[in-house]
A and B are shown apart, each in its own frame.
Chain A
């Protein structure tokens, strides 16, 4: 584990632990190993005797916390652990019987030793049926995953400063930062405009298109009657960053998107999330070169997947034997269920108090907690356990194996109600942070938590990439399920802008917080700030002046 993450840095051992280690090494841990027992849920405890329950050697009690001495393996309860240390000199270290965690009786505090945790985990791995990826298809994916490890190379491409930013500044007529340009509604296309505004300001994607990686002049994918979606996107990028601020009509793009997904080609209202997925798919289709043979998108080197693709890990654990089967799935975004559990609970308890409904607020972190929470699969959906060779109750837990460069979180506001046999929209408010740390939702953290407080390097500890994200765009939806309106809020240089089709306004962050967010776009913190530096080359004075003059322009 790197020193970058203080939460996992090894705490300093106390004097007693150091002395114990000096004298005995880890032989005490080894002898304790055989009495460790692991439960299927991952918790480890010390089982001293098969049938007898442990009791304190002083008071004969068996309740409360019990500690077993590492030197003489006598058991004492938390009240008498100090007494034992005082009577037997040097018997300072003990192990919590129930949790199999190290405790220093002299300091009366928990202590941490990587060697101890290693021996616990080694025993744990032995006890439980090996949780390696056993299915054939998964083995294939595993190779893929290894190759994915080289994502650092991809990153470096985007670190090049965007030189064009310097020269262009004189063309920025508007008081607003470059790239803010309204998009005309072409007939119920606010779903497209809202997603486009977010895509236009995703730093890695913007850099890609503005640096002519895919340009109309060089593209050979275009044929007489079929347009190329990335080419049209390039067109939109050029138009939006040209410095012109009269609203732009992305008609060509709409047409080429219609060609790409014919089933959605109409003037009807569409789902913004659906559009987002289908545009990325369109880019992927055109950008994937013939030399790229991989079918699966997880390994794809096209710009859409390099920027948005992450890897989800799902663990299905048998509740009987603890066997875990792990699968990895690539994802372009993460769809989160609204964390409404607390609201519905309060509704049930006091129905008349409707005012309470507004006070209970779900948070994005709550949704992410819900997403990564182990979920017991119902008894009607038992899964076949490879170890027991039987259908068993199991639990499933999701976690994020690899974070994408741009994290798109999609809130499932559309709920299928079983009672009324119809879809409905959840209008509830969701609080979201502007800076988001994804560390608790990574596979390493999730798996680590499953085993208690252990300092242990789990297989495939990822995160050479940073886990801190900054928000840069929020797509919000107002209205009902069938008809509504999408508005995007963009965050540029810590200032929020509301993009409502052709109109762009400066707004307070309070307005953004109060909106009904539907999709949220987060980018790596490093990329977010870097993206802003590009736009900061304007001398401060002229920028200020421009603000005053043009404040009412939109």
Chain B
């Protein structure tokens, strides 16, 4: 599929492609291909709703949109403004649970 695209020459990426994928990439690919990533995402979604994180983000988004005016905000703007705040306010307990799940998965996948 990639060949069908008229790609601009991007040298550093071309170099990258020949490199071995990093461990992080390998893990990520394994997670996606096994479908575990989807399950993890569903779990995360649930946890974030339970702990009120989602409501908090919603309120922040609303405030931002109100400040900028309804018609002057795009999804991209929102994502850029919210991402740092959202990352910072994920409860540690949620992070720990997810990390534990990933560890368990890695052991079972024997990567």
Contact = CB atoms under 8 A, between A and B. Distances in A.
A63 B28 contact: yes
A50 to B, nearest CB: 10
A276 interface: no
Given A58-B13, A107-B74, A74 B4 contact: yes
A65 B76 CA distance: 11
Contacts of A49: 1
A106 to B, nearest CB: 11
A10 interface: no
Majority DSSP secondary structure for residues of A touching B: loop
A59 to B, nearest CB: 6
Interface string B65-77: 0000000001110
Interface in A17-72: 39, 41, 48-49, 51, 53, 55, 57-60, 62-63, 65, 72
B60 to A, nearest CB: 18
B16 interface: yes
Q: How large is the interface on B (under 10, 10 to 19, 20 to 34, 35 or more residues)?
A: 20 to 34
B29 A53 contact: yes
A87 interface: yes
A49 B33 CA distance: 11
B22 interface: no
Interface residues of A, number: 29
Given A59-B13, A73-B1, A88-B6, A53 B32 contact: yes
Contact of A109 (B28, B29, B74): B74
Interface in B29-59: 29, 32-33, 38, 42, 50, 52
A242 interface: no
Contact of A60 (B17, B38, B50): B17
Contacts of A60: 13, 16-17
A243 to B, nearest CB: 49
A83 B7 CA distance: 10
B76 A48 contact: no
A110 interface: yes
B30 to A, nearest CB: 10
A351 interface: no
B82 to A, nearest CB: 13
B42 A41 contact: yes
Nearest to A108: B76
Given A41-B42, A51-B33, A63-B28, A57 B5 contact: yes
A78 interface: yes
B108 interface: no
Given A57-B2, A74-B1, A109 B76 contact: yes
B10 interface: yes
Question: Which 6 A-B residue pairings sit nearest by Cβ, starting from the closest?
Answer: A109-B74, A108-B76, A74-B5, A110-B75, A53-B32, A57-B5
